[in-house]
Amino acid sequence: MAATGQEKTVSDYIVHHLTNLTYGKLPEGFDRYDGHTVGAGGEWAFAHGADEIAAMGFNAVHVDSLAWSIGLGVIFCALFRWVAVRASAETPSGLVNFIEMVVEFIDNQVKDTFHGQNKLVAPLALTIFVWVFLMNLMDLIPVDVVPELMVLAGIEYQKIVPSTDPNITMGMAVGVFILMLYYSIKVKGFGFAKELALNPFNHWVFIPVNLFMEIVGLLAKPFSLGLRLFGNMYAGEMIFILIAALFGAGILWVLPASLLQIGWAIFHILVITLQAFIFMVLTIVYLSMAHEDH
């Protein structure tokens, strides 16, 4: 599976499916895949292969992850806007009823978990749950469909599950972390610094120990939030790819691979929903902790 049409090994197949469509700046003097050398000042281009992606370093953007995540966000906004316009006092039905059930479910979770006063938390929780769920849901699309269509269109790489990209999951986690710090300072003021310095040992002698433990615990929150989602979804995508690779092992593997694909997809419906729920609940919990002023 490649734009060149050459035969690929299973390893090449897996690497191809796990490579993002990357756009970035190649350094001066770099030898590209087509034989030409990057001139003075570097060159902005789409990467072809892992060596070019590595050479780009931080001067690179995962175009596919950004495009799919933004597109799914637009779909989420448009869908909920469409439902909101059609909502009425009468008994809802169909999609309107389902969306109202989701909104009520999220609202109850916020009421049970968040104990402060903040009108941002419920809409944020709803956005996170639905957006992460939609990103995870892309994992149920057969792994070869979109990449093969993109290859026909001249685009070599395409990952369609944004939550399998740590840049996306960690970006969301950092956003939650910034909100945590903002509300911790806004609600607690100087009390936030005291909380870091005098907890758990309430004595000035232990301030260095307290600061070390509290700061490590504070920084662990966004890392655990983002990496948990990424790790689970990446593992699920890898299993889908490995199962898909079985179809090329011979006609005897077609039926077992089909059964495995269906079984894993059914189980994965639970995984994608659970991961969206966990990300949402932890966000509510962290913001609730930021509003607790002891």
Q: Which of 118, 232, 258, 288 is catalytic?
A: 232
Number of other residues whose CB lies within 10 A of the CB of residue 78: 10
- What phi, psi does 161 have (nearest 5°)? -105, 95
Starting from the edge strand earliest in sequence, which strands make up the sheet with 43-46, in order? 43-46, 22-26, 60-62
In the chain, the N- to C-terminal Cα span, in Å, equals 59
Instruction: Please report which helix (H) or strand (E) contains residue 26, including its range.
Output: strand 22-26
Radius of gyration of the chain measured on its C-alpha atoms: 23
C-alpha 22/C-alpha 14 separation (Å) is 17
Q: Is 292 helix (H, G, I), strand (E, B) or coil?
A: coil
Q: Which two tokens stand for residue 269?
A: 């419906």
228 part of the active site: yes
Q: Which of 59, 97, 108, 224 is catalytic?
A: 224
199 part of the active site: no
88 part of the active site: no
Whether 260 and 243 have beta carbons less than 8 Å apart is answered as: yes
Q: Which of 118, 199, 228, 288 is catalytic?
A: 228
The DSSP code sequence of 233-294 is HHHHHHHHHHHHHHGGG-GGGHHHHHHHHHHHHHHHHHHHHHHHHHHHHHHHHHHHHHH---
Total residue length of the chain: 294
C-alpha 294/C-alpha 292 separation (Å) is 6
Catalytic site positions: 224, 228, 232
